């Protein structure tokens, strides 16, 4: 069983809809991530939160809006999406530590949300 | 330039045989971590094994082992005694030294290779 839970598993939305993806982890991790993955491609980093603050935004369009309400939760708010935004959206978490020894911390992923924009 | 290169888009292996999935990487930093993930068709990304740049021994985890050749910058995954359930996409990934953010702590990026689709034949 994955320790990172994502809801919903599947989402179909129109281009004028507003929806949210949710992610929850109970691993005590202080770094959380959103990745986007198209079919047969590797995941692409979208956002990174560290200690509940946004630390990386990989030039993601503003129609994607992340939110980290607390150390266990990560949301991705969606508005006015395009059909090309259809993809698997993966949430992940990892340890976040000060200093130079944190490169050995694996990311733990949720099962993802399959998003279809019509 | 690609940081992680997986040159095998697809691989086939007979059940119970061993298989090696190739991965080469590029970094100028002496400190880094290498990871392998498995992604079945269901979509979940499963962490398999980790190798640190300073580790002297090759990592092993059950049927998975990592053939780490630092001078050649390669980190190949070896799966022994393949099972039908091993059929999946396999990604090699690397983490590099952290991005400092003095006001909020630290976070690390994970860079993925293009993946290898492994099919285990009965």
Between CA B74 and CA B95 the distance in angstroms is 15
Residue range B60-64: average pLDDT? Answer: 97
Q: Cβ A48–B107 below 8 Å, yes or no?
A: yes
What is the predicted pLDDT for the residue at A103? 76
> Is B59 in a helix, a strand, or coil?
coil
What is the predicted pLDDT for the residue at B99? 53
Q: Which residues pair with A39 in a beta bridge?
A: none
What is the predicted pLDDT for the residue at B104? 38
Nearest to B44 among A2, A53, A105 (CB): A2
Q: Cβ B50–A106 below 8 Å, yes or no?
A: yes
Nearest to B31 among A92, A100, A111 (CB): A100
What is the predicted pLDDT for the residue at B28? 85
Predicted confidence pLDDT, tens digits, chain A (118 residues): 569 999 999 999 999 999 999 999 999 998 899 999 999 999 999 998 988 988 888 889 999 999 999 989 999 999 999 999 999 999 999 887 654 447 788 999 999 999 999 9
Quick: pLDDT tens for A18-34.
Answer: 999 999 999 999 889 99
Q: Which residues from A are below 8 Å from B102, CB to CB?
A: none
B94: burial class by Cβ within 10 Å (0-12, 13-18, 19+)? buried
What is the predicted pLDDT for the residue at A44? 92
Which is higher by pLDDT, B117 or B96?
B117
Non-local (6+) Cβ contacts of A32 within 8 A are: A23, A25, A48, A49, A68, A74, A91, A92, A93
- Chain A interface, mutation test: which of B5, B8, B35, B45, most A Cβ atoms within 10 Å? B45
Residue range B83-95: average pLDDT? Answer: 96
What is the predicted pLDDT for the residue at B118? 98
Q: Which residues from A are below 8 Å from B37, CB to CB?
A: 109
| pLDDT of B107 higher than 50 | no
What is the predicted pLDDT for the residue at A113? 97
Which is higher by pLDDT, B97 or B111?
B111
pLDDT band at B111 (very low <50, low <70, confident <90, very high): confident
What is the predicted pLDDT for the residue at B102? 42
Q: Are A45 and B99 in contact (CB under 8 A)?
A: no
Q: Are B50 and B35 in contact (CB under 8 A)?
A: yes
Handedness of CA B55, B9, B11, A10 (dihedral sign): positive
User: What's chain B's average pLDDT?
Assistant: 90
DSSP-assigned states of every residue in A47-95:
EEEETTEEEEE-S--TTEEEEEEETTEEEEEEES--GGG-EEEEEEEE-
Quick: pLDDT tens for B31-53.
Answer: 899 999 999 999 999 999 999 99
What is the predicted pLDDT for the residue at A101? 44
């Amino acid at each position: 069983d994955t320790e990172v839970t994502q809801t919903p598993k599947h989402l179909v939305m129109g281009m004028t809809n507003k929806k949210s993806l949710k992610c929850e982890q109970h691993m005590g991790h202080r770094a959380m991530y959103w990745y986007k993955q198209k079919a047969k491609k590797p995941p692409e980093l979208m956002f990174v939160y560290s200690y509940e603050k946004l630390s990386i935004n990989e030039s993601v369009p503003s129609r994607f809006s992340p939110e980290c309400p607390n150390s266990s939760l990560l949301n991705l708010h969606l508005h006015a999406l395009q059909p090309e935004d259809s993809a698997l959206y993966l949430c992940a978490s990892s340890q976040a530590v000060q200093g130079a020894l944190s490169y050995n911390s694996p990311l733990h992923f949720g099962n993802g949300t399959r998003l279809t924009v019509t | 330039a690609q940081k992680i290169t997986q040159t095998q888009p697809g691989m086939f292996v007979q059940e119970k045989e061993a298989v090696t999935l190739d991965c080469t990487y590029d970094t100028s930093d002496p400190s880094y971590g290498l990871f392998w993930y498995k992604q079945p068709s269901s979509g979940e990304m499963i962490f398999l094994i980790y190798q640190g740049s300073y580790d002297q021994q090759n990592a092993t985890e059950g049927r998975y082992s990592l053939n780490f050749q630092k001078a050649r910058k390669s980190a190949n995954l070896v799966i022994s005694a393949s099972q039908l359930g091993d059929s999946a996409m396999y990604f090699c990934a690397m983490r590099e030294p952290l991005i400092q953010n003095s006001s909020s702590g630290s976070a690390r990026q994970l860079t993925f290779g293009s993946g290898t689709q492994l099919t285990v034949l009965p």
